[in-house]
Amino acid sequence: MNYQQPPHLQAVILDWAGTVVDFGSLAPTQIFVEAFAEFGVKVSIDEARGPMGMGKWDHIRTLCNVPAIAERYREKFGRKPTDDDVTTIYERFMPLQIEKIGLHSALIPGALDAIATLRDRGLKIGTCSGYPAQVMAKVVDIARDNGYVPDHVVATDEVPNGRPHPAQSLANVIALSINDVAACVKVDDTWPGILEGRSAGMWAVALTCSGNALGLTYEEYKALPPEKLAKERQRIEQMFEGSRPHYMINTIAELPAVIDEINARLARGEMPQGC
């Protein structure tokens, strides 16, 4: 039997915060700042945003590896943070995250319409997140109340390795009965999420304005002067270059047009691994 490449897409695998909900990816970022602050260690919003997209324990470990943050920790405790210290911070992070997740869980404008369009075109909707299952359960409940119910959800602690490893995307492939990873598109607002999709052999679409990289509310985004927005978009596109997304768009509202283009490329024989 000969290999036959997929003639069209079968599924879209969407991130959550910054992609479908929480326009500026504000919920996780602020909680990192607060969790470290409870131990007397200052972490700025910009520092907290750096590893966004990773699982939350890995995110905290990465922050603790930042020389400036590690030095602040040493000044407070007389030593650099160990994995046990990371776990202690993580255990404080979790209840804070669960308590406050509802403050930043509104659907991103245009998300429901875009997802409905994808479903009309026969695509399944898989999802994954850097949130652990305990937090995801609350996010999913709030999203359901707001009209968003994906076909599958994979939390970061439900697989052996979180982003940038491909495990979460591949878990969606299995659960959704997709027969070829090249028939999938991974959509994310962070570089670990784009690397996840790339490593899984999928098409990858990066969001430049709705998520972590811009870090603004929807209202703040819409109020940006055109020249400022253009400058910020250029910065964000440069940030994404190393993760090699196939497309970069402002928000999920623009995704249906990209899906049409990818379907056309598949019909011409193009594959995500070759470009």
- Annotated catalytic residues are 15, 56
Contact 204, 185 (CB under 8 A): yes
State which H helix or E strand residue 257 sits in: helix 255-267
Give the torsion sign (CA, 257, 260, 266, 269).
Answer: negative
The structure tokens 């997140």 sit at 129
How do beta strands 184-188 and 152-154 pair? unpaired
User: What DSSP character marks residue 151?
Assistant: S
CA distance 274 to 62: 31
User: What DSSP character marks residue 202?
Assistant: -
C-alpha closest to that of 16 among 120, 152, 117: 152
Structure tokens at 180: 């070829």
CA distance 146 to 12: 20
CA distance 228 to 24: 17
The structure tokens 């520092």 sit at 47
Number of H helices, E strands in the chain: 12, 6
